[in-house]
Chain A
Amino acid sequence: MPVPRLTEATTVACIFFIFLVPLAATGLALMNVGLGRSRSAGHMMMASLSALAVAGIAYFVCGFAWQGVIGGPGHSLNLSGKSWNWIAAEPFFFRKLSFEGSVATLAALFQIFCVGLAALIPLGSGADRWRLRASCLSTGLLAGWTYPLFAHWVWGGGWLAQLGVNYGIGRGFLDVGGAGTVQVMGGLSALAVAWILGPRRGKYSADGMAPAIPGHNAVLVLFGCMLALVGWFGLNSAGAILFTGGEASGAALIAINTMLAASASALTAAFITKVRFGKPDASLTANGWVGGLVASSASCAFVSPAESVVIGSIAGTIIIFSVEWFELRMEVDDPGGSISVHAVAGIWGLLALGVFGQFQRPVLNVAGDLPSAMNGIAAGQWLAQLIGVATLLGFVLPLTYCANRLLNRFYPFRVSVEGERQGMDLHELGAGAYPEFITHTDEFLPR
Chain B
Amino acid sequence: MKVVGILMLLAGWFLVLAAIVLFSAPPLRGAFILAGMAVEVLGLALAFRSHLIPREEKR
Contact = CB atoms under 8 A, between A and B. Distances in A.
Given A383-B33, A390-B37, A391-B16, A398 B55 contact: no
Given A206-B59, A391-B16, A331 B51 contact: yes
Contact of A394 (B21, B36, B58): B36
Contacts of A379: 26
Nearest to A390: B16
B9 A204 contact: no
A238 interface: no
Interface in B6-57: 6, 9-10, 12-14, 16, 20-21, 24, 26, 29-30, 33-34, 36-37, 40, 43-44, 47-48, 51-53, 55-56
Contact of A80 (B9, B21, B29, B43): B21
A79 B51 CA distance: 37
Contacts of A163: 20
Contacts of B58: 204-206
A227 to B, nearest CB: 33
Contacts of B10: 394-395, 398
A390 B48 contact: no
Interface string A199-226: 1011011100000000000000000000
B59 A390 contact: no
Contacts of B40: 390, 393-394
Contact of B21 (A79, A199, A201, A206): A79
A380 interface: yes
B50 to A, nearest CB: 9
Nearest to A379: B26
A169 B24 CA distance: 10
Main SS at interface, chain B:
helix
A389 B37 CA distance: 9
Contacts of B43: 394
Interface string A399-433: 00110000000000000000000000000000000
A398 B21 contact: no
A393 B43 CA distance: 10
Contacts of B33: 383, 386-387, 390
A398 B53 contact: no
Contacts of B56: 206
Contacts of B6: 398, 401-402
Contact of A393 (B9, B20, B30): B9
A135 to B, nearest CB: 20
A332 B51 contact: yes
A380 B26 contact: yes
Contact of B29 (A205, A206, A383): A383
Given A163-B20, A383-B30, A386-B33, A205 B59 contact: yes
A195 interface: yes
B13 A394 contact: yes
A167 interface: yes
19 contacts: A167-B20, A198-B53, A201-B59, A205-B58, A330-B48, A330-B51, A332-B48, A383-B26, A386-B34, A387-B20, A387-B33, A389-B37, A390-B13, A390-B36, A393-B40, A395-B13, A397-B9, A398-B9, A402-B6
Given A383-B29, A394-B40, 15 more contacts: A79-B21, A82-B21, A163-B20, A167-B20, A169-B29, A195-B47, A195-B51, A206-B56, A331-B52, A383-B26, A387-B20, A387-B33, A390-B12, A394-B13, A394-B16
| Chain A to chain B: the 9 pairs with minimum beta-carbon distance, closest first | A394-B13, A390-B16, A206-B58, A204-B58, A398-B6, A394-B40, A394-B12, A394-B9, A330-B48
Interface of B: 6, 9-10, 12-14, 16, 20-21, 24, 26, 29-30, 33-34, 36-37, 40, 43-44, 47-48, 51-53, 55-56, 58-59
